[in-house]
Protein backbone atom coordinates (compact mmCIF):
# COMPACT_ATOMS: atom_id res chain seq x y z
CA UNK A 1 0.00 0.00 0.00
CA UNK A 2 1.49 3.42 -0.92
CA UNK A 3 2.36 5.75 1.95
CA UNK A 4 2.27 9.54 2.00
CA UNK A 5 4.63 11.59 4.16
CA UNK A 6 2.84 14.54 5.74
CA UNK A 7 4.61 17.92 6.22
CA UNK A 8 5.17 18.85 9.85
CA UNK A 9 2.53 21.63 10.16
CA UNK A 10 -0.22 19.39 8.81
CA UNK A 11 0.45 16.50 11.19
CA UNK A 12 -1.90 18.23 13.61
CA UNK A 13 -4.63 16.91 11.32
CA UNK A 14 -3.35 13.32 11.16
CA UNK A 15 -3.09 12.63 14.88
CA UNK A 16 0.61 13.56 14.65
CA UNK A 17 1.29 10.70 12.27
CA UNK A 18 4.10 11.55 9.83
CA UNK A 19 3.18 8.82 7.37
CA UNK A 20 -0.26 7.67 6.24
CA UNK A 21 -0.99 4.54 4.19
CA UNK A 22 -3.46 5.15 1.39
CA UNK A 23 -5.41 3.23 -1.25
CA UNK A 24 -5.56 4.24 -4.87
CA UNK A 25 -4.31 3.64 -8.38
CA UNK A 26 -3.45 7.29 -9.04
CA UNK A 27 -2.15 10.26 -7.06
CA UNK A 28 -5.64 11.76 -7.18
CA UNK A 29 -7.15 8.57 -5.73
CA UNK A 30 -4.49 8.48 -3.01
CA UNK A 31 -5.10 12.10 -2.03
CA UNK A 32 -8.85 11.52 -1.99
CA UNK A 33 -8.32 8.56 0.32
CA UNK A 34 -5.97 10.62 2.51
CA UNK A 35 -8.46 13.48 2.84
CA UNK A 36 -11.30 11.03 3.49
CA UNK A 37 -9.27 9.55 6.35
CA UNK A 38 -8.28 13.04 7.57
CA UNK A 39 -10.81 15.59 6.24
CA UNK A 40 -9.20 18.60 7.95
CA UNK A 41 -6.25 18.26 5.56
CA UNK A 42 -8.30 18.99 2.47
CA UNK A 43 -8.62 22.82 2.62
CA UNK A 44 -4.85 23.12 3.04
CA UNK A 45 -4.06 20.87 0.08
CA UNK A 46 -6.81 21.79 -2.36
CA UNK A 47 -8.51 24.93 -3.61
CA UNK A 48 -11.71 23.38 -4.96
CA UNK A 49 -10.63 20.43 -7.10
CA UNK A 50 -7.16 21.83 -7.80
CA UNK A 51 -4.04 21.32 -5.74
CA UNK A 52 -2.99 24.60 -4.15
CA UNK A 53 -0.13 26.17 -6.09
CA UNK A 54 2.31 25.87 -3.18
CA UNK A 55 1.48 22.20 -2.53
CA UNK A 56 3.78 19.77 -4.31
CA UNK A 57 3.39 16.01 -4.42
CA UNK A 58 6.52 13.96 -4.99
CA UNK A 59 6.94 10.30 -5.89
CA UNK A 60 10.47 9.67 -4.73
CA UNK A 61 12.40 12.57 -6.30
CA UNK A 62 9.79 13.31 -8.98
CA UNK A 63 7.29 16.16 -8.84
CA UNK A 64 3.93 14.91 -10.17
CA UNK A 65 3.48 18.20 -12.06
CA UNK A 66 6.25 16.92 -14.36
CA UNK A 67 4.59 13.51 -14.64
CA UNK A 68 0.85 13.24 -15.22
CA UNK A 69 -0.40 15.40 -12.35
CA UNK A 70 -3.21 13.93 -10.26
CA UNK A 71 -3.65 11.25 -12.95
CA UNK A 72 -0.14 9.90 -12.33
CA UNK A 73 -0.38 6.18 -11.67
CA UNK A 74 1.21 4.83 -8.51
CA UNK A 75 2.50 1.46 -7.39
CA UNK A 76 1.81 -0.40 -4.16
CA UNK A 77 5.24 0.36 -2.70
CA UNK A 78 5.57 4.00 -3.83
CA UNK A 79 6.73 6.53 -1.26
CA UNK A 80 4.80 9.77 -1.73
CA UNK A 81 5.56 13.04 -0.01
CA UNK A 82 3.65 16.29 0.33
CA UNK A 83 6.16 19.16 0.20
CA UNK A 84 5.05 22.80 0.45
CA UNK A 85 6.82 25.54 -1.49
CA UNK A 86 7.23 28.35 0.99
CA UNK A 87 6.54 31.76 -0.46
CA UNK A 88 5.84 35.22 0.84
CA UNK A 89 5.58 38.80 -0.20
CA UNK A 90 4.23 42.21 0.54
CA UNK B 1 0.65 31.36 20.66
CA UNK B 2 3.94 32.41 22.25
CA UNK B 3 7.13 32.47 20.19
CA UNK B 4 10.43 32.55 22.08
CA UNK B 5 13.45 33.77 20.11
CA UNK B 6 16.97 34.20 21.41
CA UNK B 7 18.39 37.73 20.99
CA UNK B 8 21.38 36.45 19.01
CA UNK B 9 19.13 34.55 16.59
CA UNK B 10 17.04 37.71 16.17
CA UNK B 11 20.21 39.64 15.35
CA UNK B 12 21.16 36.98 12.76
CA UNK B 13 17.76 37.37 11.10
CA UNK B 14 18.08 41.16 11.15
CA UNK B 15 21.54 40.99 9.55
CA UNK B 16 20.31 38.65 6.80
CA UNK B 17 17.26 40.79 6.07
CA UNK B 18 19.36 43.96 5.88
CA UNK B 19 21.80 42.21 3.54
CA UNK B 20 18.91 41.13 1.28
CA UNK B 21 17.48 44.69 1.14
CA UNK B 22 15.96 46.06 -1.09
CA UNK B 23 14.91 42.49 -1.88
CA UNK B 24 13.13 40.06 0.38
CA UNK B 25 15.11 37.46 2.29
CA UNK B 26 14.08 34.52 4.42
CA UNK B 27 14.70 31.10 5.87
CA UNK B 28 13.41 28.37 8.15
CA UNK B 29 12.82 28.27 11.90
CA UNK B 30 13.79 25.06 13.68
CA UNK B 31 12.72 24.52 17.25
CA UNK B 32 10.36 22.83 19.64
CA UNK B 33 6.66 23.12 20.34
CA UNK B 34 5.40 22.76 23.91
CA UNK B 35 1.72 23.50 24.37
CA UNK B 36 1.13 26.99 23.02
CA UNK B 37 4.80 27.97 23.08
CA UNK B 38 7.18 27.68 20.14
CA UNK B 39 10.86 27.95 21.11
CA UNK B 40 13.20 28.71 18.23
CA UNK B 41 16.47 26.76 18.50
CA UNK B 42 18.02 27.70 15.16
CA UNK B 43 17.39 29.71 12.02
CA UNK B 44 18.54 28.58 8.58
CA UNK B 45 18.88 31.13 5.80
CA UNK B 46 17.55 30.02 2.41
CA UNK B 47 18.28 31.90 -0.81
CA UNK B 48 15.36 33.64 -2.47
CA UNK B 49 14.48 31.69 -5.62
CA UNK B 50 11.82 34.05 -6.96
CA UNK B 51 12.52 35.71 -10.33
CA UNK B 52 15.18 38.37 -9.70
CA UNK B 53 13.06 41.30 -10.89
CA UNK B 54 10.26 40.36 -8.45
CA UNK B 55 12.40 39.79 -5.37
CA UNK B 56 11.76 43.30 -4.04
CA UNK B 57 8.26 42.11 -3.07
CA UNK B 58 8.37 38.30 -3.34
CA UNK B 59 10.25 35.52 -1.59
CA UNK B 60 10.23 31.81 -2.41
CA UNK B 61 12.18 28.70 -1.59
CA UNK B 62 12.12 25.35 -3.36
CA UNK B 63 10.36 22.15 -2.29
CA UNK B 64 13.82 20.62 -2.03
CA UNK B 65 14.72 23.24 0.60
CA UNK B 66 11.66 22.24 2.61
CA UNK B 67 12.41 18.50 2.33
CA UNK B 68 16.05 19.00 3.29
CA UNK B 69 15.28 21.13 6.35
CA UNK B 70 12.40 18.91 7.48
CA UNK B 71 14.77 15.93 7.38
CA UNK B 72 17.52 17.95 9.11
CA UNK B 73 15.12 19.01 11.87
CA UNK B 74 14.12 15.37 12.43
CA UNK B 75 17.77 14.31 12.57
CA UNK B 76 18.54 17.01 15.14
CA UNK B 77 15.55 16.13 17.32
CA UNK B 78 13.90 19.43 16.38
CA UNK B 79 10.79 20.39 14.45
CA UNK B 80 10.36 22.61 11.44
CA UNK B 81 8.26 25.14 13.33
CA UNK B 82 8.09 28.06 10.93
CA UNK B 83 9.76 30.41 8.54
CA UNK B 84 10.90 34.01 8.47
CA UNK B 85 11.05 36.59 5.70
CA UNK B 86 11.33 40.32 5.26
CA UNK B 87 8.99 43.01 3.99
CA UNK B 88 11.24 45.73 2.53
CA UNK B 89 9.65 49.17 2.84
CA UNK B 90 6.37 47.78 4.18
CA UNK B 91 4.97 46.75 7.57
CA UNK B 92 5.61 43.43 9.31
CA UNK B 93 2.05 42.37 8.58
CA UNK B 94 1.13 39.34 6.44
CA UNK B 95 -0.10 40.15 2.95
CA UNK B 96 -2.87 38.38 1.04
CA UNK B 97 -0.06 36.69 -0.90
CA UNK B 98 1.41 35.44 2.39
CA UNK B 99 -1.96 34.05 3.44
CA UNK B 100 -2.59 32.32 0.11
CA UNK B 101 0.74 30.47 0.43
CA UNK B 102 0.61 29.69 4.15
CA UNK B 103 0.03 26.67 6.32
CA UNK B 104 -1.54 26.57 9.79
CA UNK B 105 0.44 25.38 12.83
CA UNK B 106 3.49 27.14 11.39
CA UNK B 107 5.01 30.32 12.79
CA UNK B 108 5.58 33.18 10.34
CA UNK B 109 8.09 35.77 11.52
CA UNK B 110 8.10 38.93 9.40
CA UNK B 111 10.72 41.68 9.65
CA UNK B 112 10.02 45.12 8.23
CA UNK B 113 13.16 46.68 6.76
CA UNK B 114 13.15 50.39 5.96
CA UNK B 115 15.78 52.66 4.51
CA UNK B 116 16.37 55.23 7.25
CA UNK B 117 19.59 56.56 5.76
CA UNK B 118 20.68 52.94 5.65
CA UNK B 119 18.61 49.72 5.57
CA UNK B 120 17.44 48.96 9.10
CA UNK B 121 15.13 46.40 10.67
CA UNK B 122 12.38 48.49 12.23
CA UNK B 123 9.90 45.85 13.37
CA UNK B 124 9.66 42.08 13.85
CA UNK B 125 6.34 40.34 14.42
CA UNK B 126 5.20 36.70 14.59
CA UNK B 127 2.00 35.34 13.09
CA UNK B 128 -0.05 32.15 12.88
CA UNK B 129 -2.59 31.28 10.17
CA UNK B 130 -6.04 30.32 11.42
CA UNK B 131 -7.11 26.74 10.70
CA UNK B 132 -9.92 28.03 8.44
CA UNK B 133 -7.32 30.02 6.43
CA UNK B 134 -9.35 33.22 6.90
CA UNK B 135 -6.59 35.33 8.44
CA UNK B 136 -3.40 35.43 10.49
CA UNK B 137 -3.41 36.08 14.23
CA UNK B 138 -0.49 37.80 15.92
CA UNK B 139 1.59 35.63 18.22
CA UNK B 140 3.37 37.00 21.28
CA UNK B 141 7.05 37.30 20.37
CA UNK B 142 9.39 37.06 23.36
CA UNK B 143 13.04 37.94 22.80
CA UNK B 144 15.29 36.32 25.42
Chain segment B4-41, per-residue pLDDT in tens: 999 999 999 999 999 999 999 999 999 999 999 999 99
Residue B79 distance to chain A (closest CA, Å): 7
Q: What is the mean pLDDT of chain B?
A: 96
Q: Check whether A90 has a pLDDT greater than 90.
A: no
Q: In angstroms, how far is CA B20 from the centroid of its own chain? A: 14
**Which residues, 6+ apart, have CB-to-CB distance to A66 below 8 Å?**
none
Q: No. of H helices and E strands in chain B? A: 3, 8
Which of A43, A81, A88 is closest, CB to CB, to B26? A88
What's the pLDDT score for residue A1?
85
Strand pairing of B37-46 and B107-115? unpaired
Whether residue B97 and residue A56 make contact (CB cut-off 8 A), yes or no, is no
From chain B, the residues in CB contact with A61 under 8 A are none
Please state, for a pLDDT cut of 70, what percent of chain A lies above it.
Answer: 100
Q: Rounded to whole angstroms, how far apart are CA atoms B44 and B31?
A: 11
pLDDT band at B111 (very low <50, low <70, confident <90, very high): very high
- Write down the architecture of domain A3-84 according to CATH: Roll (3.10)
pLDDT value for A35: 98
Categorise residue A66: left if φ over 0, alpha if ψ from -120 to 50, beta otherwise: alpha
B57, B66, B104 member nearest A86 (Cβ): B66
Query: Closest residue of B to A52, CA-based?
Result: B101
Residue B102 pLDDT greater than 90, yes or no: yes
Beta-carbon separation of A86 and B83 below 8 A: yes
3-state SS class at A1: coil
Segment holding B125, helix H or strand E: strand B119-129
Q: For A54, which residue in chain B has the nearest alpha carbon?
A: B101
Residue A88 has pLDDT above 90, yes or no: no
Domains and CATH numbers, chain B: 2-143 (3.40.140.10)
Distance CA B45, CA B13 (A): 8
* pLDDT score recorded for residue B83: 95
Distance in angstroms (rounded) separating the CA atoms of residues B75 and A37: 28
B85 pLDDT band, cuts 50/70/90, is very high
Answer whether A85 sits within 8 Å of B61, measured CB to CB. Answer: yes
What per-residue confidence (pLDDT) applies to A87?
87
| Minimum CA–CA partner of B24 in chain A | A89
Chain A residues with CB under 8 Å of B110 CB are 88
Residue B87 and residue A90: Cβ atoms within 8 Å? yes
- Percentage helix, strand, coil for chain A under 3-state DSSP, each rounded to 5: 35, 30, 35
First-residue to last-residue Cα distance in chain A: 42
Shortest CA distance from A40: residue in chain B? B131
The mean per-residue pLDDT over the stretch B87-110 comes to 95
Q: Of A53, A85, A88, which has the smallest distance from its Cβ to B62's Cβ? A: A85
Residues A34-69: tens digit of each pLDDT: 999 999 999 999 999 899 999 999 999 999 999 999
Amino acid sequence: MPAIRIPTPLRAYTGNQAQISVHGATIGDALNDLTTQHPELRPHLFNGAELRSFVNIYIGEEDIRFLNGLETEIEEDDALRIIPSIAGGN
Amino acid sequence: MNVVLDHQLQQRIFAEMVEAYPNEGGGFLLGTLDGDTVSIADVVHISNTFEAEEQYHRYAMTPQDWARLEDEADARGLTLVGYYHSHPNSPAIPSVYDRDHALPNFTYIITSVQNTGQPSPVEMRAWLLRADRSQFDASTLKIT
